Structure 1
Amino acid sequence: MKLAVHAYAELAGWPDLVEVSPSCGTGRALATAHGEIIHFHSDHDVDLHLTVRAIRRFQEHLDATRAIRVVDGSPWVTVRLDTSGDIHLLTTLVTLALQAHQAWPDPGDAPHSTCNDHHSAAETQYLSGG
């Protein structure tokens, strides 16, 4: 089973998440009462609306993880699913994202914020672990 399909199947069963059409028009998406939170764009790339505040708060940890791509100023991070451990990372980050959307609402994290799928490769960078 492809990793993204496995991750989607697991997360779609969570009580706080429902399937929606992705606003970017690519792939599949899950949302909360606060808006879209996860976009599955391919067999390997998943965008997660983590929030700007949570990204700032956990920047050091995100920087240390090769599977995470951060786009400056974006409330979304991209998780690259290459191993089953990356699914565990994604589910941990989804838990963090759910908490961030409920506990730390931030005006800069409007639900209409564009996911990273629309950013060009020149604007993004997979972090090299340090």
Structure 2
Amino acid sequence: MDNTRPIVAVVDDDPRLLESLEELLESAGYAACCFRSAGQLLVRGLADLDVLITDIGMPDTNGFELRDIVKKARPDLPVFLITGRHEIADQSRAQGISGFFRKPFNAPALLVAIAEALQESTNGG
């Protein structure tokens, strides 16, 4: 894989969303790695990831659980949560993440948030 592009992992059980996010991220110059489950991502490993975007409502390991696992392994990794369920967007559970997006999300806003998170992590923020 091309090491000059930041690697953004996307975890969502909706194949259409994965496809559209992959296209969006690739067109913005990122290397997108898409996974249908948290388990697939964890098997692959977190070591070289620069950003993680995960759906909240997934079978097996949900987005909050995945965030907790990732924060133990890579506390510096920016994590964004996305959801189609508006009632989940309560702020107390959204702690420990870089951003929160409701589906259908605003693509330019997501790209700006990713760029800002990468800027912060490269500046040691």
Q: State the TM-score, normalized to the length of structure 1.
A: 0.39
Greater relative CO (CA pairs within 8 A, separation 6+):
1
Q: State the TM-score, normalized to the length of structure 2.
A: 0.40
